Amino acid sequence: MKKNYHSEVESKPLTTKHEIPIGRHPIFGPPIKASTGWLLMLLLLSLFTGIGMNGQSMANYTFSGTTNGSLENIDDGTSIMTAAVHDDDATLIQPIGFDFYYMGVLYSHFSANSNGQVRLHPNGTSTVIGGSAVSSYSSGTVTLAAMGGDNETGAGMKMKIVGSAPNRKLVIEWTKFYVYFTDPVNNAGNMQMWLSENGVISYVYGEMYNSSTSSQNRAIFLSSGSTAGQSAHITIGATPAIVTTSTFPATNLIAGGSGTPTATTLIANLGTSSNSNRIKYTFTPAGTAGHATVTSLAAPTALTINGVSASSMTINWTAASPANGIIRYAVFNSTDGGVTY
């Protein structure tokens, strides 16, 4: 089957090269090559799903919960988004720093609030998440909640990109984060969310406390819509579990804390005192090492480029076979010989 795509390019000289790499994104495997006189487009397999799955489905992701994680140290070279104690405050829209795909959609920006929730944005002019707590799934909105509900950070929020392409990771940190919003917990630990360039999402928890003496109900979830299967929530426990069939995130009962500036009781099965034994929840997309269903993908073949002009061209290729795990192809253009796209 032929796929026909048309893409506009800048009106400037294009670099020529005998071979053009096409096929998989570098983070998923080596490209295939086809002879051509123009280095015009890089054809990438940018997002993947499992066998028989559609793009907007949590079945595209494998969940794992481990107890041997470590928080990233991002004290140096960090971008401070907010500082000091914050209750129901939000950041400005921030760049992710690389192309990040979630559920088959490209996102370039994010915003976060002090309650422990992040919203993904397709551009820098979208509507920010807002400071109020997010505790439900919403149609057409991507919300990643390392902690749902109304909470507080005692020392602000910051971000840093670690690693190098194509293995970069955006680390979003809530510094001295605690459940509820009473007086600050001086010995509260950090909570982090990692967005990796290969589409993997991780929530990592430090010394987690409930600042209230009363028990609290809190959900941990990620969502791209309000239809069953588009979102998932996590059940905290010695063996954490993911639930993908609900249209509303169920909450976890968190026992009351000491209610003192120096907290004494960590949240069970979430808070830890050792940085080599952090609780880490990971969501791995199909086509990435660690996914239970699809770990390799076939590449497309027979790339041809026709009708080349200063402003347009027509690209044709034969779709990959088998098509297991593939939900779309993304076309990128380069005007500097493949250095940038």
Residues 125 and 6 in one domain: no
Residue 36 scores a pLDDT above 50:
no
Tokens coding 243: 């639930």
Tell me whether residue 321 is in a domain. Answer: yes
Q: Is the peptide bond before 166 cis (omega within 30 degrees of 0)?
A: yes
Q: Yes or no: say if 43 and 315 are a contact pair by the CB < 8 Å rule.
A: yes
Tell me whether residue 290 is in a domain. Answer: no
Q: Residue 259: exposed, middle, or buried by beta-carbon count in 10 A (0-12, 13-18, 19+)? A: middle
Residues 180 and 245 in one domain: yes
Q: pLDDT at position 194, please?
A: 98
Residues 266 and 237 in one domain: yes
30 pLDDT band, cuts 50/70/90, is: very low
Total domain count, the chain: 2
Residues spanned by the domain of 45: 2-51+299-333
Tokens coding 329: 């192809």
Residues 39 and 104 in one domain: no
C-alpha 25/C-alpha 128 separation (Å) is 30
Tell me whether residue 125 is in a domain. Answer: yes
Residues 28 and 64 in one domain: no
3-state secondary structure of 301: strand
Tell me whether residue 341 is in a domain. Answer: no
Residues 172 and 33 in one domain: no
48 pLDDT band, cuts 50/70/90, is: very low
C-alpha 303/C-alpha 309 separation (Å) is 18
Residues 261 and 121 in one domain: yes
pLDDT, tens digit (0-9, with 9 covering 90-100), for 210-268: 999 999 999 999 999 999 999 999 999 999 999 999 999 999 999 999 999 999 999 99
